[in-house]
């Protein structure tokens, strides 16, 4: 039996899971308050804070760190790479520490997994990081030759949900056209064409619907004027897109449960903003169905927001069910996807890829 520790740092939470072979023995979701994370200047600064929470969790559960056969973390902003499980190596760690390709909470997954694994003398891995790139060249064209559209999305959960959905449909992932809608701290909406994510919004860099804490695509001219207004530093403007945008900017919270509570108590502004968010998600599902020539076998809703059954799931279903049947995988199962990725390597069913 192989015992695997899974570490999944997201923008609003840290998820930890313990697997014995393919069986989940424990899982904990630690939600981080916006103000708690505001104390840290960079994502890398959160390293000790998040690592200590993981160690504290293991201590509380009476789990010996030395009992693990491998540790796998969610990672990270690297160069564009094919889907798969990668052994963490020095080059990867160096790039993640220095945020060579940018800052993202999942950079911490590889860093923490590596330190803990080294401490106990086992291997550390990442699987399907956010930079998995299967995009068609056509989708890379942006509209100005200086810029290229990039594939940065919730590859791990999108791939895992796409496989689970295909299984549910009794079909092979490589024979289907699917739209996978991940709605978490970030939102990514991917067109999966016969097993390849041929188009997807760049969930990090101001592309797509707005989210609990990101702005998504903004009106460009207004944005240029803001950049040159002299009122904001570059850092503040970046934060406005990622971290302080979306629901936080409009309503002061990134917690969808709180927003739903406000709407139910009659807050019309909360209702307008939240229904506006749902409207944008629906538009992006429409775009991706066009990418798939309106030949879509199924649509999946996933990520933490897919638990929201009062407004979000029913409204999306009502508006897009005519395109294809809608299935809901609330929360997704990134931890299981990571554990299985490590298990395939431990069982020698697959070799780990080298970064």
Ligand X SMILES: Nc1ncnc2c1ncn2[C@@H]1O[C@H](COP(=O)(O)OP(=O)(O)OP(=O)(O)O)[C@@H](O)[C@H]1O
List of residues contacting ligand X (CB under 6 A): 10-13, 154, 184-186, 212, 254-257, 303-305, 307-308
Longest dimension (CA), the chain: 60
Taking the complex as a whole, how short is the minimal distance between the CB of residue 157 and ligand X, in angstroms? 7
Taking the complex as a whole, how short is the minimal distance between the CB of residue 175 and ligand CCCC(=O)O, in angstroms? 27
For ligand CCCC(=O)O, which residue of 204, 251, 337, 338 counts as binding (CB under 6 A)? 204
The CA distance from 113 to 126, in Å, is 9
The residue sitting closest to ligand X, measured at its beta carbon, is: 184
- Residue 73's binding partner among ligand CCCC(=O)O, ligand X, none (Cβ under 5 to 8 angstroms by kind) is none
Is residue 77 within 8 Å of 124, Cβ to Cβ?
no
CB atoms within 10 A of CB 286: 15
Is residue 271 within 8 Å of 264, Cβ to Cβ?
no
Strand residues in the chain grouped as ranges (E): 3-9, 13-20, 23-31, 70-73, 85-87, 123-127, 177-183, 187-193, 196-200, 298-303, 326-330, 353-354
- Residue 308's binding partner among ligand CCCC(=O)O, ligand X, none (Cβ under 5 to 8 angstroms by kind) is ligand X
Kindly tell me which of 201 and 253 has the beta carbon lying closer to ligand CCCC(=O)O: 201
Residue 349 phi, psi (nearest 5): -80, -20
3-class SS of residue 218: coil
- Residue 255's binding partner among ligand X, ligand CCCC(=O)O, none (Cβ under 5 to 8 angstroms by kind) is ligand X
Taking the complex as a whole, how short is the minimal distance between the CB of residue 187 and ligand CCCC(=O)O, in angstroms? 7
Is residue 204 within 8 Å of 210, Cβ to Cβ?
no
The residue sitting closest to ligand CCCC(=O)O, measured at its beta carbon, is: 186
- Residue 152's binding partner among ligand CCCC(=O)O, ligand X, none (Cβ under 5 to 8 angstroms by kind) is ligand CCCC(=O)O
Contacts of 306 (CB under 8 A, 6+ apart): 181, 183, 312, 313, 328, 329, 330, 331, 332
- The contact pattern for ligand CCCC(=O)O, residues 113-132, with x = CB under 6 A and - = no contact, is -----------------x--
Q: Which stretch binds ligand CCCC(=O)O (CB under 6 A): 118-126, 185-193, 243-251, 302-310?
A: 185-193
Kindly tell me which of 51 and 242 has the beta carbon lying closer to ligand CCCC(=O)O: 242
* Residue 63, both tokens: 């789990």
Is residue 343 within 8 Å of 75, Cβ to Cβ?
no
Contacts of ligand CCCC(=O)O in 280-299 (CB under 6 A):
none
- Calculate the alpha carbon distances from 167 to 172, 204, 226, 339 in Å: 7, 29, 48, 19
186 near ligand CCCC(=O)O, rule: CB under 6 A? yes
- Calculate the alpha carbon distances from 261 to 114, 206, 284, 302, 308 in Å: 40, 28, 26, 21, 11
For ligand CCCC(=O)O, which residue of 75, 109, 185, 341 counts as binding (CB under 6 A)? 185
47 near ligand CCCC(=O)O, rule: CB under 6 A? no
Positions touching ligand CCCC(=O)O (CB under 6 A) are 11, 130, 152-154, 185-186, 188, 203-204
């Amino acid at each position: 039996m192989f015992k695997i520790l899974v570490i999944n740092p997201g923008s609003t939470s840290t998820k930890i899971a313990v697997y014995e072979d393919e069986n989940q023995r424990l899982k904990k979701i630690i939600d981080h308050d916006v103000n708690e994370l505001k104390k840290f200047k960079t994502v890398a600064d959160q390293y000790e804070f998040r690592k200590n929470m993981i160690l504290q969790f293991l201590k509380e559960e009476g789990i010996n760190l030395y009992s693990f056969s491998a540790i796998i973390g969610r990672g990270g902003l690297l160069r564009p790479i094919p889907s798969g499980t990668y052994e963490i190596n020095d080059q990867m760690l160096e790039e993640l520490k220095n945020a060579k390709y940018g800052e993202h909470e999942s950079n911490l997954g590889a860093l923490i997994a590596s330190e803990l694994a080294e401490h106990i003398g086992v291997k550390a891995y990442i699987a399907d990081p956010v930079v998995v790139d299967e995009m068609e060249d056509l989708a890379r064209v942006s509209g100005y030759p200086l810029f290229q559209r990039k594939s940065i999305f919730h590859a791990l959960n999108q791939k895992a949900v796409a496989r689970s959905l295909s299984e549910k449909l009794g079909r092979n992932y490589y024979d289907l056209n699917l739209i996978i809608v991940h709605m978490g701290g970030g939102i990514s909406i991917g067109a999966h064409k016969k097993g390849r994510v041929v188009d997807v919004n760049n969930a990090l860099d101001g592309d797509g619907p707005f989210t609990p804490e990101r702005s998504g695509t903004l009106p460009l001219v207004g944005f240029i004027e803001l950049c040159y207004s002299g009122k904001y530093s570059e850092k503040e403007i970046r934060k406005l897109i990622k971290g302080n945008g979306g629901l936080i900017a409009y309503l002061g919270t990134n917690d969808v449960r709180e927003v739903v509570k406000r709407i139910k108590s009659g807050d019309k502004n909360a209702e307008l903003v939240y229904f506006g968010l749902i409207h944008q998600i629906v538009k992006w599902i429409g775009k991706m169905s066009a990418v798939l020539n309106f030949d879509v076998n199924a649509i999946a809703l996933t990520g933490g927001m897919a638990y929201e059954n009062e407004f979000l799931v029913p409204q999306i279903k009502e508006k897009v069910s005519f395109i294809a049947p809608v299935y809901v995988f609330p929360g997704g199962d990134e931890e299981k996807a990571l554990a299985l990725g490590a298990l395939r390597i431990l069982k020698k069913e697959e070799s780990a890829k080298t970064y």
